[in-house]
Structure 1
């Protein structure tokens, strides 16, 4: 084991040197005044995890860059195809919002388009997995391009998949949300976090966009996770999923939004919690009630701003919702992997529930009686764990300083 780790360490060192040489080569071209735009591709294989819109936009404004979104297919099992049409939904997401993108699949010849066709200098990833091998995986891409990674979820739980995969060691720039995350990576990563850059979390930039809250009725978001088994085990749907739907039916004075993890329906069927027909009926119920809606897109910060309360066991949402200033009911699974230092800091200001009767009492207290004793603690936590500066600007400035030595 020690020999294997030593070999991996030297491989990582060699790759870091190769990246440094490639960076030097690009800087040399820039210094010599070679008239070619710096090409950036943002790879997307799941729109629900798209987290770099603000980063994409800031690069699009600088004429030195040619920034594009590249939507590619994610390999799906037959069971997964029954619950989600990934590529079609991803393309529809960007079309609906008039966001320009490159389709990564040529329908006319039924073939995936290689990234190398666009000769990118830098390729951004939104997640470590789900990339078609020999086309979009990191090993293939980094042969011709530098790479960057903006995690699609906030790393707040005890999960080695957040920073200890080979992917994390080999990525050129690993953008992390906070100094706490950097400290954890320096301790846990094979390369001691040498490729990590503290940049904040781009998805939170959307909080800067003003939103007008309606005062008609309180709005509650219900966002259940999918991890019933395996290394995480945060999912609690078994003891609150059906109960939450019935509670929403009984409380028409409250506006509800069902925002499940995109993998939830698949796992409900896979874990035999529901049949596919039952799962479809459950989702349809949320979508069809007069006082509720089903939301499954990746641009949900506005939804957070418009709401009054989040009820969830979704790991990343616990961190992403904090800037809203609103209370959170944390649905707790006592068998979960638990939270890291950043996660513990965040959930200390939330209302934890381990049983359905506790959830009902918490809703009564927070929404009906309007009692929120943890409000001040949340505000203090927000000041401690998140950066004030725009994340997209920090990433932009890091890239510009790395390759151009100046801003603007």
Structure 2
């Protein structure tokens, strides 16, 4: 880790320092109150169905009479109302299909927002993102009478340490449940509260791939006799890269369409874009809404392809390989122990990753051009040649499984029960 100015270790912003102390004092009061309760109501906020990470935690709590879990679906306000409602309705449908108690926060009949704090009265709230993407009343500062919890919506591999660990949300939440000891060390270095609210639990999304589940797996692919490749482009396209510039979508969007046609008798491709890619393409001068919608439509209609914008657990479990330029998927897909190809935007991608991200990247095959992509498809996917398999399995065992050998979701639930019950 690079050295940082000493001032970063101090509470230079007195208002944030005061808020941190006030929030922690409120949490102490909430904990005292909860010790007298026999049933704890837990609210799970969700904005995008594709970044929902709390399946196993919800299920464990639903099986435990000590907890009463409920999901509340909140609006994503960075797109228009039509897109907002479509996402909310699709997310509600997904949650209800899982058998979860689900509340849609928007009342279309009365064009009003439901007061979750009043309706649910949650003792604990799990937030899905640390950003102000949703209605004000569904953000952390409206739930100071609850214990607030956060699992990062992506497995953190990028080098934006300040944004990843030292936002107001990260400092004010009751507990951040982080992936590994490496991630905690970054938080200790960059967060103004010195990571006093951090617990290393492992990453719950990986439980779906590292540990067996009683859940049935649904195969979303159109063919059973074709190899199954996921193409997952990131949202950080040129001009809107937020300092990361991972995305190679503009370089390879036509390549993957051509590959779907060229290998039509042998492979099928799932187009799994980052949920923010479409809105950025809408704003892009070269693309715009019509072209972007047409491109997405191609993958929804092509015979040996599919468009996947929802939960991707079953997609990962039933696939043969991943081709991508994302950050979180570096770790998430590696946990399946299947081969993955990383599309390098440039020769300096590793400089925009932190310590863990660099290790994850080293356990990928790499592509710098179209020919490298074809080699991966022909060799690693179609012929099954996987010389990196042993190295990848070692990485999974050493770095992706929680240190105590238990699923991350169980670690989180056990921790909460211990804190409340003593």
TM-score (norm 2): 0.88
Question: What is the aligned partner in structure 2 of residue 33 from structure 1?
Answer: none
- 2: CA distance between counterparts of 1:4 and 1:276? 44
Question: What is the aligned partner in structure 2 of residue 12 from structure 1?
Answer: 20
User: CA separation of 1:190/1:150 partners in 2, compared to 1, >3 Å: closer, same or farther?
Assistant: same
Question: What is the aligned partner in structure 1 of residue 414 from structure 2?
Answer: 397
- 1: CA distance between counterparts of 2:294 and 2:393? 39
Where in structure 2 are the equivalents of 1:100-139 lying within 5 Å? 100-117=101-118, 118-139=120-141
Task: Choose from 273, 279, 282 the match for 2:292.
Answer: 279
Give the deviation of 1:120 after TM superposition: 1.1
Q: Is the CA contact 1:75–1:130 (under 8 Å) kept in the aligned structure 2?
A: no
Q: Does 1:315 find its partner at 2:327?
A: yes
Give the deviation of 1:92 after TM superposition: 2.4
Q: Is the CA contact 2:75–2:85 (under 8 Å) kept in the aligned structure 1?
A: no
Q: Is the CA contact 1:204–1:301 (under 8 Å) kept in the aligned structure 2?
A: no
- 1: CA distance between counterparts of 2:397 and 2:73? 35
Q: Does 1:195 find its partner at 2:203?
A: no
Where in structure 2 are the equivalents of 1:7-406 lying within 5 Å? 7=14, 8-27=16-35, 29-30=36-37, 36-78=38-80, 81=82, 85-117=86-118, 118-142=120-144, 144-159=145-160, 160-207=162-209, 208-209=212-213, 216-228=225-237, 229-252=241-264, 253-298=266-311, 300-334=312-346, 338-386=352-400, 387=402, 388-405=405-422
Q: How many residues align?
A: 396
Q: Deviations over 1:5-56 (max 9, x none)?
A: 15233542343233223213322x24xxxxx521110011211111101101
Structure 2 residue runs of 5 or longer lacking an equivalent are 1-6
User: CA separation of 1:319/1:111 partners in 2, compared to 1, >3 Å: closer, same or farther?
Assistant: same
- 2: CA distance between counterparts of 1:346 and 1:285? 32
Q: Deviations over 1:295-336 (max 9, x none)?
A: 1112x1221121111000121111110121111110112265
Give the deviation of 1:130 after TM superposition: 4.1
Over the residues paired in the alignment, what is the CA RMSD in angstroms? 2.3
TM-score (norm 1): 0.90
Q: Is the CA contact 1:239–1:356 (under 8 Å) kept in the aligned structure 2?
A: no
- 2: CA distance between counterparts of 1:215 and 1:379? 26
Give the deviation of 1:261 after TM superposition: 0.9
Q: Deviations over 1:269-319 (max 9, x none)?
A: 212232322222211211212211111112x12211211110001211111
